Amino acid sequence: MAELKYVGRDVQRNDIVEKASGRIKYMGDRMQGGAAHARLILSPIARGRVVSFDASEAERMPGVLRVFSPKDDPGKRFNSALFLPDQTDLQDHPVFTDKPLFVGDILGAVLAKDEETARAAAAAVKIGFEEEAPLLDMEQAALPQTPSFREGMPQVVEGKIAYGEESLPGDAIILESVVRTQKIHHGAMENHICEARMEYGGVLLVETPCQMAFTVRYVLADLFGIPFNKVRVVKTPVGGAFGGKQEVGIEPHCALMALKTGLPVRLALDRTQTILATRTRAASVGRILIAADREGNLLRREMDVIVDAGAYATGTQRVMMAMGKKTSRLYRIPSQSFRGRTVFTNTTPAGACRGYGSPQIHAITEIAMDLLARKLLLDPAEFRLKNLVHPWDTDPAGGPALGNARIRDCLVRGMEVFRWNERRVIPSGTGRFRRGVGLACCTHGNGYFGSPYPDFMSMAMRFCEDGTVLVNAGLQELGNGTLTTIGQIVAEVLDLPPERVEVSESDTSTTPFDVGCVASRVTYVCGSCALELAEKLKSRFLGQCARVLAVDAHRLSLKNGNVVDSEEGGRRSYGGMVCRIAKELREEAGEYLHYKPEANPASYGVHFAETLTDTLTGTVEVTDYLAVHDVGRAINPRLLRGQIYGGVQMGVGMALSEELVYDSKGRPKSASLSRYTMINAPSMPKVGVLLVEEGEPGGPFGGKSIGEICTVPVAPAIANAVNASLGTMMTELPFTPERILAALSARRETNAR
C-alpha cells in the first residue's frame, strides 16, 4: 500500500480548540430564547400508587406555567431502545406514571419561566402514595414463585444460545462459580438535557445530546402519533455519553410538554436526577461451569446469567443477548450453553452502557477462567493461549465469522512487554501489602451485521466551490473523535488536509439515515461508508474534470488539493475545477452512497494489571497496567490511545469502587457524586498501550472498533490480580475494602480449620 498521508497519523481532533477555550456551547450553555424550563417530579418511593396529586400551591407560584401530572400521560407505552416496528422489546414505559416502579420514576413535571421557579414549584407539589414492598433482589426476581409487579408483562424474559454436545467426559476438571457484577452510573460529566419546540409547518423540533437521533425520532413519532417527517431530531454537542445517551431518555417528556403547551421547553436534569431517572449499566449474576482436561484444553462451558433490567424493559434484553453472543468468540470451546434471564426489579432501569454487556459477561467468564487455571495449576496466560481463537475462525454458535482475529498476538506480545512470566512468579509477600498481577482477554463486535438489527448507512459527500469537502452524515460525535476519524479517511482518499473536510452530525430532517453511534460500528461501518463514498466521489470528480479539460480521465489525479494532469503537468485547484464543472457541465461534484456491511468481525484485547492490596485497610491500588488491542489498523493512534485510557478508567471504577446500591425500601444510597466514587486522577494507574495492527478486511484501511472493548477486560484483569495476590476467590464486583477484608478473614478462618 502506498504511504498514507493522514490515516494512521495523530491528526488533531476537529473541535479541540473550541473545547480548550471553553467556547463550545453544549445545550445547557445556549441562550435560552424564551424557553420554558421544566423540572421533573420523581417518585420518592420504589413501588406503589399515587393516591393524591395536589399541585395547587405550585400552580399559585408566580412564574409557574403548568404542572404535569400522571393524568397527562399519553396512555401509550414506549420502549427506549426500539427503532423499527418489528422489534419485539417490551413496550412498557409510560411518560408520566401514577404507579411508580422505582425511586426516580417520573410522575410529572413543572413548567415555569425559569429554572429556579420550576425547581421550587416541583418541590411544592404534594403527592400521596400507597406504598408496596419493592422487589430489589434480582435472584429473587428470577424465581417463578416471586409475584410480579409488572401488570400483565412477563417478569422474566429468557434467551438461550447453545452448540455442541451436552455431555462431559468423566475425568474433566470442573470449576463452578458465581460471579456478580454491579449496577453502574454512566457518569458522563454533562447531565441529561433536552429541548423541544414546535416549528413552522407543525414540525416538532427536538434538540438533544444523543447517540441515535433516528431512534429518538422513531420513539417520539410512534408514541405521539406524529408523521415521521414532522419530527426533527437534531443532535447537539455531547458532554460524555457512554451509552447513557443511546436510548431515548427524557426526550418524550420534553416533547410531550412542548406538544401540550405549544411552548419551547427546556428540560434539564441535575446529577441526582440523572443518576436516578435515566439508565444504568445492568447488574448481573452469572453462574458458570467450565470444564477442561488436565492439560488445560477447554471442553465445555455452561453459563446461566441473570441480568437486572431494573423497572422497565428498555434495551436490557438486547444487552443480555449480546452477553451470550460474545461467549463463542474468544476461546475454541467444543460445546457450550448460555441461558440468560432478563428480570425486573424496582430500581432505575438499566440499558446500554459502554460495552453493551461485554464488561459483565467477561467479568463472569474471565474471573472464572483464572479460578480454573488455579485448580489446574496452570499459568492463566498459558491456559488461555491453549484455547484462544485463531484468525479466520468461525463462530460455532452461528454468529458472523471472526475475521482477522489477533487475540493470540495480543497475548503473546503483551506477556513479553509486561514481563508476565517473570512477574507472575514473584511471591506476593506475607506482609501488610500484597502485590500481584492478573490479566483478562476479551472480544467485542463491529456493528449490527449478523444480529437481529439491520446495519446500514447512507452518506452524501460533495466538493464546495473553494475545494473544501462537505460530508453529510447522520453521525454523532461523543467526544471519542468520530468526526475527526471520518474526516481523516475522506481526506486520505481525496488528498486534501483533514481540516478542509467538514463532517456533519445527525439532523433527522437533513442528514441521511443512520442507526447511530452505537454498537462499536462507527469506525468499521461508518468509516467504510465514508471510504467507499470518497472513492466514488473521486472518480466522479476526476471524470468531470476530464470532460471540462477535454482530456482522458486516466491522465488526471488528485494531489494535495489540486487536480494534476500527468501529461501536460498542469495543476488546477479543486475549487477552481468545481466552479468550472458547475458552469460548463451544470453539475455538482457530489455523490451519495448506500452502504451495507457484509461482515462483523471481532475486535480483541488483553489487559494486564498489577495491584497492591493493603490487607489492613482492604484498599487496592493499581500500580501498573498494560492494554493490548487488536484494532486492525489505528486510523488515529493518539485518539485511539485516548479511548483506551478512558476505558481503563471506567473499568478501574467497575473493579474497585463504583456501585449503585439501595436500602431495603429501595432508596438509593449512592445518588450523588459524593456517594458514588468514580476514579479521579490520583487513583488512575499509568497505562501502557500496545497495538496489534494486522488489518481487518472490510474495515477502512483495515481499521476496526476500540471505544467499547477497551473497558471490557479491565475489571476481571484487576480482580484476577487481587485474587492472585491474596489467594482469595472473590467474585463479587466491585472489590471494595469491605469485601476484601471479608474475603481475607474468611480465608484466615478456612486456613485455621
Partner 1 sequence: MIIELTVNGTLRSVEITPSMRLLDMLRNVLGLTSVKEGCSEGECGACTVLLDGKAVTSCTVLAVQARGRSVVTIEGLSSDEALHPIQQAFVDHDAIQCGFCTPGMIMSAYALLKHTPSPTREEIQRGIEGNLCRCTGYLPIIDAIEDAARRMRTHES
Q: Binding mask 26-65 vs partner 1 (x if CB under 8 A, - otherwise)? A: x-xx------------------------------------
Question: If we measure between CA atoms, which residue out of 313, 604, 290 comes closest to residue 446?
Answer: 604
Closer residue to ligand FES, CB minimum distance, 28 or 391: 28
Give the residue, chosen from 432, 669, 686, 748, that forms a contact with partner 1 under the rule CB under 8 A. Answer: 686
Give the residue, chosen from 1, 2, 3, 23, that forms a contact with partner 1 under the rule CB under 8 A. Answer: 23
Q: Binding mask 146-185 vs ligand FES (x if CB under 6 A, - otherwise)? A: ----------------------------------------
DSSP 385: H
Strand ranges of the sheet holding 571-573, from the earlier edge strand across to the other edge: 556-559, 562-565, 571-573
Q: Binding mask 600-639 vs partner 1 (x if CB under 8 A, - otherwise)? A: --------------------------------------xx
189 contacts ligand FES (rule: CB under 6 A): yes
Give the residue, chosen from 479, 605, 703, 713, that forms a contact with ligand FES under the rule CB under 6 A. Answer: 479
* Residue 638: contacted member of ligand FES, partner 1, none (CB under 5 to 8 Å, by partner type): partner 1
Give the residue, chosen from 13, 434, 521, 704, that forms a contact with partner 1 under the rule CB under 8 A. Answer: 13
Nearest approach, Cβ of residue 423 and ligand FES (Å): 32
| The three grid cell numbers given for residue 264, joined into one nine-digit string | 419551547
Q: Which stretch binds partner 1 (CB under 8 A): 10-18, 53-61, 412-420, 593-601?
A: 10-18
Closer residue to partner 1, CB minimum distance, 243 or 467: 243
* Residue 622: contacted member of partner 1, ligand FES, none (CB under 5 to 8 Å, by partner type): none
Q: Binding mask 366-405 vs partner 1 (x if CB under 8 A, - otherwise)? A: ----------------------------------------
Nearest approach, Cβ of residue 326 and partner 1 (Å): 24
Task: Specify the 3-state DSSP secondary structure of 8.
Answer: coil
* Residue 190: contacted member of ligand FES, partner 1, none (CB under 5 to 8 Å, by partner type): partner 1
Contacts of 662 (CB under 8 A, 6+ apart): 46, 103, 136, 347, 668, 669
- State how far the Cα of 182 lies from the Cα of 136, in Å rounded to an integer: 13
Nearest approach, Cβ of residue 207 and partner 1 (Å): 16
**Would you tell me the crossing angle of helices 213-224 and 251-261 to the nearest 10 degrees?**
50
- State how far the Cα of 574 lies from the Cα of 532, in Å rounded to an integer: 20
Task: Specify the 3-state DSSP secondary structure of 397.
Answer: coil
Residue 226 parent element (H or E): none
Nearest approach, Cβ of residue 189 and ligand FES (Å): 4
- State how far the Cα of 181 lies from the Cα of 357, in Å rounded to an integer: 10
Q: Binding mask 645-684 vs partner 1 (x if CB under 8 A, - otherwise)? A: xxxxxx---------------------xxx---x-xxx-x
9 contacts partner 1 (rule: CB under 8 A): no
Give the residue, chosen from 188, 254, 258, 519, that forms a contact with partner 1 under the rule CB under 8 A. Answer: 188
Nearest approach, Cβ of residue 372 and ligand FES (Å): 38
Q: Which stretch binds partner 1 (CB under 8 A): 16-24, 85-93, 135-143, 249-257?
A: 16-24
How many other β-carbons are positioned within 10 Å of the β-carbon of residue 86?
6
Using the structure block, give the residue that is written with the C-alpha cell 438535557.
193
* Closest residue to ligand FES in the complex (CB): 189
491 contacts partner 1 (rule: CB under 8 A): no
Task: Specify the 3-state DSSP secondary structure of 190.
Answer: coil
504: buried, middle or exposed (CB in 10 Å: 19+, 13-18, 0-12)?
Answer: buried
How far apart, in Å, do the first and last CA atoms of the chain sit?
Answer: 66
Q: Binding mask 197-236 vs ligand FES (x if CB under 6 A, - otherwise)? A: ----------------------------------------
17 contacts ligand FES (rule: CB under 6 A): no
* Residue 29: contacted member of partner 1, ligand FES, none (CB under 5 to 8 Å, by partner type): partner 1
647 contacts ligand FES (rule: CB under 6 A): no
Give the residue, chosen from 28, 63, 74, 240, that forms a contact with ligand FES under the rule CB under 6 A. Answer: 240
Beta strand 156-163 with 335-343 is: antiparallel
4 contacts ligand FES (rule: CB under 6 A): no
* Residue 24: contacted member of ligand FES, partner 1, none (CB under 5 to 8 Å, by partner type): partner 1
The number of residues making up the chain comes to 753
How many other β-carbons are positioned within 10 Å of the β-carbon of residue 600?
26
Beta strand 562-565 with 603-614 is: unpaired
Number of residues that bind partner 1 (CB under 8 A): 55
- State how far the Cα of 155 lies from the Cα of 343, in Å rounded to an integer: 6
22 contacts partner 1 (rule: CB under 8 A): yes
How many other β-carbons are positioned within 10 Å of the β-carbon of residue 174?
14
Nearest approach, Cβ of residue 102 and ligand FES (Å): 25
In this structure, what are the phi and psi dihedrals at residue 484, rounded to the nearest 5 degrees?
Answer: -65, -45
Which amino acid type is present at position 107? L
28 contacts ligand FES (rule: CB under 6 A): no
Task: Specify the 3-state DSSP secondary structure of 316.
Answer: helix
CB 356 within 8 A of CB 212: no
Question: If we measure between CA atoms, which residue out of 357, 301, 352, 282 comes closest to residue 324?
Answer: 357
Nearest approach, Cβ of residue 650 and ligand FES (Å): 11
* Residue 13: contacted member of partner 1, ligand FES, none (CB under 5 to 8 Å, by partner type): partner 1
- State how far the Cα of 439 lies from the Cα of 605, in Å rounded to an integer: 10
Q: Binding mask 459-488 vs partner 1 (x if CB under 8 A, - otherwise)? A: -------------------xxxx-------
Nearest approach, Cβ of residue 41 and partner 1 (Å): 18
Q: What string of DSSP letters covers 425-485?
A: TS---SSSEEEEEEEEEEEE-SSSTTSSS---EEEEEEE-TTS-EEEEEEE---SS-HHHH
CB 280 within 8 A of CB 186: yes
| The three grid cell numbers given for residue 253, joined into one nine-digit string | 417528556
Closer residue to partner 1, CB minimum distance, 186 or 279: 186
Nearest approach, Cβ of residue 487 and partner 1 (Å): 15
Nearest approach, Cβ of residue 211 and partner 1 (Å): 12
5: buried, middle or exposed (CB in 10 Å: 19+, 13-18, 0-12)?
Answer: middle
- State how far the Cα of 249 lies from the Cα of 247, in Å rounded to an integer: 6
Give the residue, chosen from 15, 535, 621, 732, that forms a contact with partner 1 under the rule CB under 8 A. Answer: 15
Question: If we measure between CA atoms, which residue out of 710, 702, 322, 699 comes closest to residue 525?
Answer: 699
Nearest approach, Cβ of residue 189 and partner 1 (Å): 4
Residue 326 parent element (H or E): helix 316-326
CB 261 within 8 A of CB 198: no
| The three grid cell numbers given for residue 356, joined into one nine-digit string | 453493551
Give the residue, chosen from 403, 632, 642, 666, that forms a contact with partner 1 under the rule CB under 8 A. Answer: 642
Closer residue to partner 1, CB minimum distance, 127 or 188: 188
Beta strand 173-181 with 350-351 is: unpaired
* Residue 28: contacted member of ligand FES, partner 1, none (CB under 5 to 8 Å, by partner type): partner 1
Which residues contact ligand FES by CB under 6 A? 189, 240, 479
Which residues contact partner 1 by CB under 8 A? 10, 12-13, 15-26, 28-29, 186-191, 237-242, 270-271, 478-481, 638-639, 642, 644-650, 672-674, 678, 680-682, 684, 686-687
